[in-house]
Amino acid sequence: MNTIAKQLEEDAAPMKEWFEHMHRNPELSMQEASTADYIAEQLRGFGAYDIVTGVGKHGIVATLKCGDGDKAIGLRADFDALPIQEQNNFPYKSTKEGISHLCGHDGHTAMLLGAARYLARTRNFNGTVRLIFQPGEETMEGGPAMIKDGLFERFPVDAVFGMHNIPGLEEGKFYFRPGEMMAAVDNWEVEIVGKGGHGGIPELTIDPVVAGASAVMAIQSIVSRNVAPAHRAVVTIGAFLAGNAGNVVANNAILRLSVRTTTPEDREMVLSNIRRIVAHQAESFGCTSQIREGVPGAVLVNDAGETEKAVRIAQAAFGEDQVIYPGPSFLASEDFAFMLQEKKGTYCFLGSGPGKMVHHPEYYFNENLLPVGAAYWVALTEGYLR
């Protein structure tokens, strides 16, 4: 363990307290008013930062300048939760029914707060560090909202950096990759409307469940039959909602889709095929349909030069054996991609070790990562702003 991480580990109690408080009190995307207030309260307690709240609704930017350096770095952490019922029994488990931190954003924020506290105390850098606490990552709203609210005009940076814990990757190791690292995402809701009625008199009904089931199967052929094997894409139908009783034909059915692609051409093709299939499948069963398109995501593309810098800094701080380069890419999505469209930078993964994958009801954030992640932010700040 490097010197910074060791010091942070010896002083990890506040990070655990912040993490557990946020875990007990999760808030959904773009509804994180109390979480934002809590983060700002901790930052004010450090007594060193210029703190601006309300950026892109609930976003926070905390700025610390040291010396006469003219370079600035942005470090970003997210803090929204998911609409999933937690199935863990920790003393600090979620107190809110159906809402929980099952992606580790509470841990991400605790790590950046830990780095903030350390940097305020040591100030071993020359330039400006801006800590970006972002709402609404899960819905792809928070990053664009902060950018629209003038994030990089009001708080200029030369480069911006992000990080995410990943279960299944070796605990405590950092994984970097230049270029494309995560996929674009489109979250859509499809409604198929039929004619409800009695389950024993189907001739007087138009069953949207049958139409929806047919659409689900047809949609699953899009990637396998239309996307080149050398490319990557996936369409997940994560929710199929219809009816409440076995003897009732529902009046409508809802499908919720997550579409992930890695090229603009594949994205356009996949979405076009979904529109076509939904319309024709619904019509073939005598139903009507409507598609509600969510906020589109973007492919996360790391700048090669900034990735190389981050790799060298991490290797110097943690040792070459703790840094995997190049690391893996995933078809998961991240709205940090929008920030990387505006500024150079890179996004890395921090291995969590064995455990359930993020978004699983039994996922848990590995608290051993708190000093490690905080140490990376400190090392990056000190290394970038020498």
Which pLDDT tens digit goes with each residue over 20-31? 999 999 999 999
Burial call 173-183: b when 16+ CB within 10 Å, e when fewer: bbbbbbebbbb
| Domain match, 238 and 319 both | no
Averaged pLDDT, 171-184: 97
* Same domain, yes or no: 234 and 351: no
Look at residue 358 and tell me whether its pLDDT is greater than 80.
yes
CATH code at position 105: 3.40.630.10
Closest CA to 206 of 163, 156, 250: 250
| Known active-site residue 265 | no
Query: For position 3, what pLDDT does the model report?
Result: 79
Phi, psi for 339 (deg, rounded to 5): -65, -35
pLDDT tens digits for range 257-271: 999 999 999 999 999
Residues 199-213, mean pLDDT to the nearest whole number: 97
CA–CA distance, 25 with 347 (Å, rounded to integer): 27
| Boundary (domain end) residue, out of 233, 263, 293 | 293
Of 302, 264, 105, 257, the C-alpha closest to 184 is 264
What's the pLDDT band for 10 if we cut at 50, 70, 90? Answer: confident
d(CA 369, CA 352): 7
With beta carbons less than 8 A apart as the criterion, state whether 161 and 345 touch: yes
Q: What pLDDT was estimated at residue 297?
A: 86
What pLDDT score was predicted for residue 21? 98
Residue 86 has pLDDT above 60, yes or no: yes
Q: Which residue has the tokens 């890179």?
A: 346
The answer to whether residue 50 is catalytic is no
Interior CA angle at 306 toward 304 and 309, to 5°?
110
Residues 190 and 238 in one domain: yes
Please tell me the predicted confidence (pLDDT) of residue 295.
82
Residues 133, 56, single domain; the answer is yes
pLDDT band for position 285 (cuts 50, 70, 90): very high
Q: Do residues 358 and 108 touch, judged by C-beta distance below 8 A?
A: no
**Residues 313-331: tens digit of each pLDDT:** 999 999 999 999 999 999 9
Domain end marker among 238, 261, 293: 293
Q: Are residues 39 and 118 in the same domain?
A: yes
What burial letters (b/e) apply to 127-138, b meaning 16+ CB within 10 Å? bbbbbbbbbbbb
Active-site hit among 32, 86, 137, 191: 137
Q: Do 40 and 108 belong together in one domain? A: yes
Residues 158 and 275 in one domain: no
Position 85 pLDDT exceeds 70: yes
- 320 and 363 in a common domain: yes
Q: How far is CA 296 from the centre of its chain?
A: 14
CA distances from 225 to 211, 221, 270, 284, 364 (A): 21, 6, 11, 22, 37
Residue with tokens 């992930």: 260
User: Omega into 326 within 30° of 0, i.e. cis?
Assistant: yes
Residue from 27, 32, 78, 80 carrying the catalytic annotation: 80
Q: Are residues 61 and 178 in the same domain?
A: yes
Q: Please report, rounded to a whole number, the percentage of residues in the chain having pLDDT higher than 70.
A: 99
pLDDT higher than threshold 90 for residue 105: yes
Q: Please report the pLDDT score of residue 31 as a whole number.
A: 98
Residue 379 pLDDT:
97
Confidence of residue 6 (pLDDT cuts 50, 70, 90): confident
List, in order, residues 6 or more apart from 15 with CB less than 8 Å away: 8, 110, 111, 113, 114, 370, 371, 374
**Do 148 and 59 belong to one domain?**
yes
Nearby residues of 315 by Cβ (< 8 Å), 6 or more positions away? 322, 323
Average pLDDT over residues 227-246: 95
Per the structure, how many domains does the chain have? 2
Q: Which of 276, 293, 310 is the last residue of a domain?
A: 293
pTM exceeding 0.75: yes
Closest to 243 measured CA to CA, from 203, 208, 217: 208
CATH number of residue 259's parent domain: 3.30.70.360
Residue 361's CB: how many other CB atoms inside 10 A? 13
Instruction: Inform me whether the pLDDT recorded for 230 exceeds 70.
Output: yes
How far is 267 from 273, CA to CA, in rounded Å?
10
Res. 385 pLDDT band, cuts 50 70 90? very high
Residues 166, 25 share a domain = yes
- Token representation of residue 289: 């349909």
Q: Which domain holds residue 334?
A: 3-182+299-384
**Within this chain, do residues 64 and 134 fall inside the same structural domain, yes or no?**
yes
Q: Which residue is it, tokens 């010091």?
A: 7
Look at residue 2 in the predicted model and tell me its pLDDT. Answer: 67
CA distances from 91 to 21, 87, 331, 377 (A): 11, 12, 33, 28
Q: Which amino acid belongs to residue 160? A: V
pLDDT band at 1 (very low <50, low <70, confident <90, very high): low
Please state, rounded to an integer, the average pLDDT across all residues of the chain.
96
Q: Please report, rounded to a whole number, the percentage of residues in the chain having pLDDT higher than 90.
A: 96
Range with lowest mean pLDDT among 10-14, 205-209, 276-280, 311-315: 10-14
